[in-house]
């Protein structure tokens, strides 16, 4: 899968000119959405299948600050896939190779009425797409 690239916007910085910490979580979502689109499963397609994938946990480790106009490369990897849970790992680096951030988001899969969806059994094509993306 191709890494996702984000250019830090001025509005994402604080009074000190440093990227506000909350933006990294937004970038995680941008990168995850891009990753899934590369898999052939946009969030719109998931919803068409009757599946949503809410975030149930976030882990963040800030390594180096970023500032306006920095180009951030975000590598996305599936760290864990069970039939019910998905863990996604994010590694963000600056153009000079400096590690800026590492994070993990944990997701579940829900269907109509908030019922847990077991991908392997109920949406096997999506489960297979995640498995295949792990081997790329």
Whether the Cβ atoms of residue 19 and residue 65 lie closer than 8 Å to each other: yes
Please list the active-site residues.
14
Distances from the Cα of 13 to the Cαs of 20, 65, 68, 121, 123, in angstroms?
5, 10, 7, 44, 40
Task: Provide the β-strand partners of residue 76.
Answer: 90
Distances from the Cα of 10 to the Cαs of 45, 66, 117, in angstroms?
32, 11, 40
């Amino acid at each position: 899968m191709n890494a996702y690239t984000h250019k830090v916007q001025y509005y994402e910085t604080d009074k000190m000119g440093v990227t506000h910490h909350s933006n990294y979580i937004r970038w995680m979502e941008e990168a995850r959405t891009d990753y899934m689109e590369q898999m052939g499963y946009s969030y719109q397609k998931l919803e068409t299948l009757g599946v949503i994938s809410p975030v149930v946990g976030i882990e963040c480790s800030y390594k180096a600050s970023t500032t306006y106009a920095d180009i951030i490369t975000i590598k996305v990897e599936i760290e864990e896939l069970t039939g019910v849970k998905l863990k996604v790992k994010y590694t963000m680096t600056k153009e000079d190779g400096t590690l800026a951030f590492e994070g993990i988001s944990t997701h579940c899969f829900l269907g109509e009425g908030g019922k847990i969806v077991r991908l392997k059994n109920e949406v096997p094509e999506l489960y297979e797409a995640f498995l295949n993306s792990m081997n790329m």
